[in-house]
Amino acid sequence: MQEHDFSDLAIVSCGTLRLEINHLKEQGFFNTDSIFFTTPGLHEDVQELERQLIEKIKKAKEQKDKVLVIYGGKFCYINAHEPTRTMQAIIEEQGPGVRRIQATHCMDMIASEDQRSAIAADMAGGEKVWWMTPGWIKFRHQVFKGWDKGLANENFPRHGGGAIVLDGIGYVEQYMADEPERFLEYSDWMGIPIQACPVNLDRFKNLILEQAAVLRGN
């Protein structure tokens, strides 16, 4: 079997990463049609996240006996009502044919902590950065569902380095060209500048390939 052959796998992913996954499918990296997405931004509603994730995995298992979950860990699932329950526990409950890629959140899937530190040093003078991926731009109103300007003011301005979008698909540049007023309004709402950092998707692909190999017992 070819290293990049995913025909024996189903993919279940956070919808925030739909842009990257569809890009990789168009590029020929993924050759499976068994791809399922949860609603973007469900880290704000972990009960709904858990419900949708289990539902999508169940549907995926109806098509394939191996399911690769593209979701972060501790930063994507924080259950205030049941603090000891974790994303990993949910995945393990779904059986041995289900694995999750090893990353803390979507930004960590695209750039490691060391890579993000280097980017922050270069683009933000080492100041604290609010990290995003293109999905945080496209699915803004889902990712920040329930946020008003007051909540935005409490969270974003403390990031002196502004917001940096780890963009492996050229989305932000196109968005700025197509909808400059909406982009500026987003930045104004956050109260900090937003800039794109072009990156490749090598880390993302390697994290996926790692767990695909584990699922196959390689």
* Cβ pair 16, 41 in contact under 8 A: yes
Quote the pLDDT of residue 2.
45
Q: Are 20 and 82 in the same domain?
A: yes
Q: Are 141 and 184 in the same domain?
A: yes
Q: Are 98 and 155 in the same domain?
A: no
Q: Give this prediction's pTM.
A: 0.94
Residue 20 domain-assigned? yes
Residue 78 domain-assigned? yes
Nearest residue to 110 via CA among 12, 200, 209, 19: 200
* Cβ pair 112, 203 in contact under 8 A: yes
pLDDT tens string 44-95 = 888 999 999 999 999 999 999 999 999 998 888 888 888 889 999 999 999 9
**pLDDT averaged over every residue in the chain:** 94
Residue type (1 letter), 36: F
Residue 3 domain-assigned? no
Quote the pLDDT of residue 84.
87
Q: Are 57 and 25 in the same domain?
A: yes
Residue type (1 letter), 167: D
User: Rg (Cα) of the chain, in Å, rounded?
Assistant: 18
Q: Are 90 and 123 in the same domain?
A: no
Residue 4 domain-assigned? no
pLDDT tens string 112-125 = 999 999 999 999 99
Q: How far apart are CA 179 and CA 183, in angstroms?
A: 6
| CATH code (residue 83) | 3.40.50
| N residues, the chain | 218
Residue 89: strand, helix, or coil: helix
